[in-house]
Structure 1
Amino acid sequence: MDEKNTQHIPLILAFTPSYLVPAAACILSVKNHATSRDCFHFICLLTQRLSTESEDMLVKLGGTRCRFSFIDLEGKLTDLYIDEKYTIAASYRLLLPDLLPEYDKVLYIDCDMIFQNNLADLYHSIYLKDNYMAGVFEATLDSQQAHMNAIGCEPGKYINSGLLLMNLAQLRKDNMVEKFLEAAKVEGLEFPDQDVINQLCRGKIVGLPPYCNSIRTFLLPQYKKIFLQYYTVQDWQNVQHKGNVHYTGPKPWVTFTIAFDLWWKYYEKLPGKIKQQASFNLKVQILSRVYRTWFGKILINTVRSLYRKVRNSEG
């Protein structure tokens, strides 16, 4: 068996203990779209240590083709600017080059994602050369133009940091961790770690197809016109039919949102012990069951469509 098929692909997630269930759903979606030859090393960066029971549940979920490492980073990055809307976990990706010296290339993924493609294929197919990373460029909205100007990024050249194929070797060579951390001390950044990555890695980012990281605005029809300013009609179709869904807005375990049924499909596949680790709103759970029936889906989508039309006509 060749090296490609025997190596464990390093996949990095960062989360708080309260995000255990979303992280498990994400991991399960990765595993379910891999082949029998693909092996993964899930490296979990934690804001505080998980219980031994929680760690064991994730290890069991991964099965024989996955191994896990749990790194407690509580107390790290205390001097960085962190917007109150986000947790410190999001900024842990800035540390990866120094945190994981044994790896030259890793794939970072946000745990509020559900994957519909094989991440092993992505990991092996992209040659980064001397670029720092690969990611999906957002389709810049009119409302985001001012922010792009403020941080010195061109429209359409700003990546979403929810999925990053990172060249740790090159980042280490250029001492980027120190530069990241210094830049992240600046107050007022809208998306602290993401803004810093875009500012300091400009010109050394490889663009990935948008289905690799299908953020909320890629999936909503009202943003299609803007999407097509940066991508093709085929890209739009790929996002709709096979996109790795990134719940960048409302979370499906909290309220009804895009690709609602997809997240709940993976939740229902989780072992009972993992599902017991979170107490979700009963109304949302009932809605998830209704929406997964053909009649419920038609009814809810019709109501949503009518609501959008009324709201747009009033606006």
Structure 2
Amino acid sequence: MTTIPIVFATDENLIIQTGICIYSLLSSCGQETQYDIYIITDYGKKMEALKGWVQLKNNPHCLDIHFIKSNNEISDAYEVRGITKATYYRLLIPKLIPVYDKIIYSDVDIIFKCSLNEIYEDVDLSNYYIAGVRAYIENEKSNNYGIELGCTDSDYINAGFLILNCKKIREDKIDLEWIKLGKRNFLYQDQDIINLSCDTKKYLLPVKYNFTKQHYQAFATHTVNSFNHIDEREMEEAMRHGVTHYTGPVKPWNGLCYRHEDWWCMYQESPLFDIDYYHNRVHSFVSMKHLSLKGRIKLLIKYFFDI
């Protein structure tokens, strides 16, 4: 049996979403794999009180679920675009979880459709601090973002799914640098910090492990450009059997976004399903009876293009 440590970070606004993310992880697990799950949050008791939480914890692929309180090292971290300080919790992983030298981190606005045992076991991070999927490059300007930030090249990764070489990070005191950088006003907050500090010590994972809204839009409209070095076969594999990341402000639980149906199907299958929550959320943004023709067109555009 392979044990994979994985960390999530969340706050009181994403308690249910964290549960659904974990349920999808356990549901897509390989037969000989179990996850040792850590959640960095100040709301562990609220999570444990959720309907269906006991079933999650008793899943045969769940070794355990640990709640870890965040410390005050990031209390004055920069916030922007409505993204709270919880986004910086991933920077605390090497310090808060010293029992593992290699750990996976995942955002909670994610649905898993594949097991992580292959990527965890096969990726050699001996000479790297971190592994992640290169962010989708939409144009030449975004291709140069990493370089303008101060990185050596344009291999700028999305921080929503990472494998951390905690041993090397601790040895080289990169985690201490992260805390210092957290006080600076970076546009993409912790993601900028990780890319800048790890620079040439970043290992690029296949797109399958962080398939974002931008990847989906490019694949669905056949507009994948040459900046990304991804073929359609990889994109299709990622869409069907990968890690779906709901990037951007519109999420399945607050509006119509790309592949929102996958999230709601997972929610209905999970032990956390609640008919009142489902009815109130879905009908709040699906009902079109009260909308004008112009309003309906806008809603359909948002559904198909998530803009």
TM-score (norm 2): 0.84
Match of 2:170 among 169, 172, 179: 172
Q: Give the deviation of 1:278 after TM superposition.
A: 8.3
Asked if the contact 1:137/1:208 (under 8 Å) is kept, the reply is yes
CA root-mean-square deviation: 2.9
Q: Deviations over 1:202-229 (max 9, x none)?
A: 1111111101100110001347333664
Query: Are residues 263 and 305 of structure 1, via their aligned partners in 2, closer, same or farther at CA, if it must alter by over 3 Å?
Result: closer
Gaps of 5+ in 2: 288-296
Contact 1:132 1:205 in 2 (8 A): yes
Q: How does 1:21-100 map to 2 (within 5 A)?
A: 21-51=16-46, 53-54=48-49, 57-62=52-57, 63-66=59-62, 67-73=64-70, 75-100=72-97
Cα displacement (A) at 1:243: 2.7
Question: Is 1:119 aligned to 2:116, yes or no?
Answer: yes
Q: Select the structure that is richer in helix.
A: 1
Q: Any gaps of 5 or more consecutive residues in structure 1?
A: 288-299
C-alpha contact 1:44 1:68 (8 A) present in aligned 2: yes
| Distance in 1 of aligned mates of 2:127 and 2:199 | 13
How far is the alpha carbon of 1:136 from its aligned partner? 0.2
Is 195-204 or 267-276 further displaced after alignment?
267-276
* Aligned residue type for 2:45: L
Structure 2 partner of 1:230: 229
- When residues 241 and 155 of structure 1 are mapped into structure 2, their CA distance, relative to the original with a 3 A threshold, is farther
| 1:210 correspondence with 2:207 | yes
1:263 matched to which residue of 2?
263
Paired position in structure 2 for 1:253: 253
Instruction: Rate the CA distance shift 1:262–1:233 in 2: closer, same or farther, 3 A.
Output: same
* Deviation per residue, 1:284-314 (Å, 9 max, x gap): 5767xxxxxxxxxxxx9xx659987xx9xxx
Q: How many residues align?
A: 289
Question: 1:262 is paired with a residue of what secondary structure?
Answer: helix
Q: Matches of 2:65 and 2:302 in 1, distance apart?
A: 43
Map Cα deviations across residues 17-76 of structure 1 (whole Å, 9 max, x no partner): 221111111111111111232111110000444337437843431323311100121644
How many Å apart are 1:115 and its aligned residue?
0.8
Moved more, 210-219 or 154-163: 154-163
